[in-house]
Amino acid sequence: MSIRNIAIIAHVDHGKTTLVDELLKQSGSFRENQRVAERVMDSNDLEKERGITILAKATSVEWKGNRINIVDTPGHADFGGEVERILSMVDGAIVLVDASEGPMPQTKFVVGKALKVGLRPIVVINKIDRPDGRHEEVINEVFDLFAALDATDDQLDFPILYGSGRAGWMNLNPEGPQDEGLAPLLDLVLKHVPEPTVVEGPFRMIGTLLEANPFLGRIITGRIESGSIKSNQPVKVLDQSGKVVETGRISKILAFRGIERQPIEEAHAGDIVAIAGLTKGTVADTFCDPSVTEPMTAQPIDPPTVTMSFMVNDSPLAGTEGDKVTSRVIRDRLMREAEGNVALRIEESEEKDSFFVSGRGELQLAVLIETMRREGFELAVSRPRVVMHEDENGKLLEPIEEVVIDVDEGHSGVVVQKMSERKGEMIELRPSGGDRLRLVFHAPTRGLIGYQSEMLTDTRGTAVMNRLFHSYQPYRGDIAGRTNGVLLSNQSGEAVAYAMFNLEDRGAMIIEPGEKVYAGMIIGIHTRDNDLELNVLKGKQLTNIRSAGKDEAVKLTPPIRMTLDRALSWIQDDELCEVTPVSIRLRKRYLDANDRKRFGKSKTGVA
């Protein structure tokens, strides 16, 4: 049985995971009566809730006597590290492009990486049934993108298919017919994607995906480059410098068969498999026969651009809602995450009570924090800050992102104004169909932190923003931060509705009556630019005349609820976000008012 290894790459929400669903259904991977969830590859709870792919995953289908291994990749730029490392596992790529939106920033990122490693992509124009589809223009845009990314003549001669992943059909003609289903795509993969090149020699495999299994321990997924492997075979692990990390035996070999992983006795070069039995080997290490001495070269990964401090929660409510609160437990969890996630970098502070976690963007770090809080962790995290560099002359450089915003014409003015305030330079403005404009900016990463929710408010939820790291450029100067101060609690206890009602003219509340508060905790957004301490515990004075029942039904304005993503981008440098399995609270870094005065407060908003 011959093998093909392909990756499905695209911008976020262009339909990768939905297409994989249909490929599995039409290739007979499911029984006729089998109940299958929608987006079956998005197995993790956060992926289902957010509707995005976070982790790259492998599956396989059988077609006309051949096995096609498929890797579903994330579409969001923050999880680009997942895409970069799996491209070394495959020999071809399906580039999925939305028939209306066309190539977007993440399309550019993943296609650039795929072309660099020499893959010859298949271009699929998906969602062809959209009423605002413009497939002919999109094809031209894709060709221009390939040319701009220095594609070779072979890569520019890409085959094109049209269709709809959700409806389950693809064809060489945008009009159909649709009765062949996805057979034209599978046939094209067999014809266009070469079989894996097999190198002579003993067993060698580079680790690309890592996961922990409660029964099998560490499971490493990768493509076997040479030789073959059997269960119980001795192997050794080499890091990138050639140093032996460990030696051991393979306890189990798992092959991808549909959405299941089945144990097999032997696997050969060219196949993508998962192996278990080793305790230290990780991503980018070479797993090989004991006779091998030279490690394989792993694909370089782009550096992180955003960093945050993860600290032990020291608030008065610490330890009341979570069971994993000590620095040692937090450190072990972060180190475990860094092993499998090559785009993360963890550094320990000198005091050993906090950790600097660097990644590709706020979303990647927010997903890590959300995962940890669901596992029972309590911690305090700081506002995201950008990772600055210095050039050889000592000049300060900062990360600049390419920002693409699709917005209704009527709201374009406010977007341009806000982006210029955040030191963004407009590069392009063009219509994108249906009275909408596509605005392209080059803007500093620190100016974009917190802009997503502000932009949605300004445009009444109609704008769509996509970002991609562009380059490091000279520091662009100060950026005005948040304009409002905060309302702080000056006592500890439970918030009272009567007190909150009388304080509503001071600003919008972010807590509800009955919620536990403590001195130094942020309870609302001040209408002015200074911080104000308030007493939200003050109850009504009860006398013979003023009874408890009178005006019992105090009507409060509903509070502004802070999600984790919004809280991280909203807080200032002198504030922290306290994250527990139950609550997300905002607080000052120094809870005592005298400490805050002593250390001063930064209101510049410069990260």
Known binder of ligand: residue 129?
yes
Q: Beta-carbon neighbour count of residue 313 at 10 Å?
A: 23
| Dihedral over alpha carbons 377, 383, 387, 390 (to 10 degrees) | -140
DSSP H/E element including 329: helix 327-340
Q: Are the CB atoms for 141 and 106 separated by under 8 Å?
A: no
Residue 56, token pair as written in the block: 């790259």
CA distance 166 to 321: 42
| Dihedral over alpha carbons 505, 507, 508, 510 (to 10 degrees) | -120
Question: Which residue carries 């950008």 as its tokens?
Answer: 386
Known binder of ligand: residue 450?
no
| Whether residue 177 has a cis bond before it, omega within 30° of 0 | yes
Residue (of 577, 563, 564) closest to 383 by Cα position: 577
Known binder of ligand: residue 108?
no
Q: Beta-carbon neighbour count of residue 259 at 10 Å?
A: 19
Known binder of ligand: residue 520?
no
Known binder of ligand: residue 135?
no
Residue (of 141, 136, 143, 81) closest to 115 by Cα position: 143
CA distance 197 to 454: 50
DSSP H/E element including 122: strand 122-126
Known binder of ligand: residue 18?
yes
Q: Are the CB atoms for 495 and 474 separated by under 8 Å?
A: no
Query: Rg of the chain's alpha carbons, rounded to an integer?
Result: 27
Residue 487, token pair as written in the block: 């309302």
Phi, psi of 248 (to 5 degrees): -175, -165
DSSP H/E element including 408: strand 396-408
Known binder of ligand: residue 213?
no
Residue (of 581, 552, 585) closest to 568 by Cα position: 585
Known binder of ligand: residue 435?
no
Cα–Cα distances (Å) from 492 to 485, 515, 516, 587, 598, in that order, read: 21, 11, 8, 13, 22
Residue 110, token pair as written in the block: 């993943």
Known binder of ligand: residue 13?
yes
Known binder of ligand: residue 220?
no
Q: Are the CB atoms for 442 and 400 separated by under 8 Å?
A: yes
DSSP per-residue letters across 41-52 = T--SHHHHHHTS
Sign of the alpha-carbon torsion through 265, 267, 272, 273: positive
Which residues sit in the known binding site? 13-18, 126-129
Output the known binding site for GTP: 13-18, 126-129
